[in-house]
């Protein structure tokens, strides 16, 4: 089978490329990525020479480029990770989120329709459900929870989900959607909570924590997310949405304290900063559907995954250094891609 993986130079897409290429040496994979600030070719460096992998630089909103690629490659399956993904950036500049996260999805699906693709999979987020109150630990997001977004980021992802379901109903496009909780693991850009705290704590810098750090996130190791998407794409039913999460709820302050403990750094580094506007209080996924219908199970607990992730960040200083210095952005000038 031939896969198009969009956004594969980002955090989750990059891990997914590694995961799939190793697991399925007889399938082939084309990665299409615009290489925004979040795209990093150094994440893909180890797999660029694999015979079943090809990288193409391009924007999913570029109708001509996308159409030519579909025509040339004859894809069976399209998995869309490409998106602007940082909530704080969506508050500063919403427009690019609407372009990449909505128009990009429409552009891809139009060609999926035109070229008779077997499956379009949209990588979505639990943030489309809004948030849950802190004093109701009995509540979880199910696939039936109404969409109720808080940020321009989550509104753009929810809009895309609605469009995906509309293409299924109107054009019978074979689609699936996964809505996953917060991911952590290797190759995550250090603007997100876990790699940011690991980086700053190692340098004995102040650790900014929004509000009182009470917000609860439901953490899933990125490789567990990858195994869920792999399963949905191969065994999931057309037109279905699958929530993905591992019941690993932690307050932000607990996450920060865990990282400090593993790195043997003092809690005095923690600094509380003014809360993010519209900050969601609690996310918590009920993954019963994917567990029961597809037999998915996460491998990592948060306690094992966080230690491994801290170790990855400590061991991969070069990758992080190039992100910090901006050196990773020059990758295309330094190397020729296939």
Ligand X SMILES: NC(=O)c1ccc[n+]([C@@H]2O[C@H](COP(=O)([O-])OP(=O)(O)OC[C@H]3O[C@@H](n4cnc5c(N)ncnc54)[C@H](O)[C@@H]3O)[C@@H](O)[C@H]2O)c1
Footprint on this chain of ligand X (rule: CB under 6 A): 6-7, 9-13, 33-36, 38-39, 59-61, 81-85, 100, 104, 123, 125, 157, 180, 182-183, 189
Looking at the annotation, which residues are catalytic?
126-127, 153
46 vs 204 by CB, closer to ligand X: 46
- 3-class DSSP state of 122: strand
Cβ neighbours around 283 below 10 Å, total: 23
Structural tokens at position 3: 């896969």
From residue 69, alpha-carbon distances to 114, 115, 127, 321 in Å are: 13, 11, 31, 33
The pairing of beta strand 175-180 with beta strand 53-57: unpaired
- State the nearest-atom distance from the C-beta of 178 to ligand X, in Å: 8
Residue placing its CB nearer to ligand X in the complex, 167 or 331 = 331
* Closest CB 204 distance from ligand X, rounded Å: 27
**In the complex, what is the shortest distance from the CB of residue 108 to ligand X, in angstroms, rounded to a whole number?**
9
The whole-angstrom separation of Cα 140 and Cα 285 is 5
SS3 of 5, please?
Answer: strand
What does DSSP say about strands 216-221 and 249-251: parallel, antiparallel, or unpaired?
antiparallel
**What's the min distance (Å) between Cβ of 240 and ligand X?**
17
* Nearer CB in complex with ligand X: 102/253: 102
Instruction: Kindly tell me which of 9 and 216 has the beta carbon lying closer to ligand X.
Output: 9
Whether the CB-CB separation of 127 and 157 falls below 8 Å is answered with: yes
Q: Where are the beta strands (DSSP E) in 228-311?
A: 240-244, 249-251, 270-273
Q: Which is nearer to ligand X, 13 or 265 (CB)?
A: 13
Shortest approach of ligand X to residue 226 CB, angstroms?
11
Nearer to ligand X, 28 or 154 (CB): 154
Closest distance to ligand X from the beta carbon of 177 (Å): 11
Work out how close the CB of 61 gets to ligand X at its nearest, in angstroms, rounded to a whole number: 5
Integer Cα distance of 129 and 42 in angstroms: 33
Token reading at 331: 């990758």
Q: Which is nearer to ligand X, 33 or 249 (CB)?
A: 33
Backbone angle region of 139, left / alpha / beta, with phi > 0 → left and psi within -120 to 50 → alpha: beta
Beta-sheet pairing, 28-33 with 207-210: unpaired
Picking from 63, 106, 107, 104, the residue whose alpha carbon sits closest to that of residue 85 is 104
220 within 8 A of 298, measured Cβ to Cβ: yes
Residue nearest to ligand X (CB): 10
Closest residue by Cα to residue 220 from 148, 318, 296, 157: 296
Cα–Cα distance for residue pair 299/289, rounded to 1 Å? 17
């Amino acid at each position: 089978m031939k896969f198009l993986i969009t956004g594969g130079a980002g955090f989750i897409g990059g891990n997914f490329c590694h995961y799939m290429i190793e697991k399925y040496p007889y399938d082939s994979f084309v990665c299409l990525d615009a290489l925004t600030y979040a795209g990093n070719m150094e994440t893909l460096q180890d797999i660029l020479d694999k015979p079943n992998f090809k990288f193409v630089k391009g924007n999913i909103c570029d109708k001509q480029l996308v159409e030519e690629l579909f025509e040339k490659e004859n894809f069976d399956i399209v998995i869309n990770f490409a998106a602007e993904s940082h909530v704080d950036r969506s508050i500063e500049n919403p427009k690019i989120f609407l372009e990449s996260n909505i128009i990009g999805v429409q552009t891809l699906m139009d060609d999926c329709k035109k070229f008779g693709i077997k499956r379009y999979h949209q990588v979505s987020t639990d943030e489309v459900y809004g948030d849950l109150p802190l004093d109701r630990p009995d509540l979880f997001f199910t696939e039936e929870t109404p969409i109720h977004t808080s940020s321009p980021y989550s509104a753009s992802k929810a809009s895309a989900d609605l469009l995906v379901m509309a293409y299924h109903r109107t054009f019978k496009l074979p689609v699936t959607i996964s809505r996953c909780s917060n991911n952590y693991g290797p190759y995550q850009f250090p603007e997100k909570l876990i790699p940011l705290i690991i980086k700053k704590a190692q340098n004995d810098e102040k650790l900014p924590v929004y509000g009182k750090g009470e917000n609860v996130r439901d953490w899933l190791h990125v490789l567990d997310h990858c195994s869920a998407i792999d399963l949905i794409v191969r065994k999931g039913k057309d037109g279905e949405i699958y929530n993905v999460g591992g019941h690993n709820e932690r307050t932000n302050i607990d996450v920060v304290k865990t990282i400090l403990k593993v790195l043997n750094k003092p809690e005095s580094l923690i600094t509380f900063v003014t809360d993010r506007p519209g900050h969601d209080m609690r996310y918590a996924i009920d993954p019963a559907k994917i567990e029961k219908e597809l037999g998915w199970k996460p491998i990592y607990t948060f306690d094992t995954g966080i230690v491994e992730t801290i170790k990855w960040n400590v061991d991969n200083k070069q990758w992080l250094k190039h992100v910090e210095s901006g050196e990773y952005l020059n990758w295309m000038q330094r190397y020729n891609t296939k």
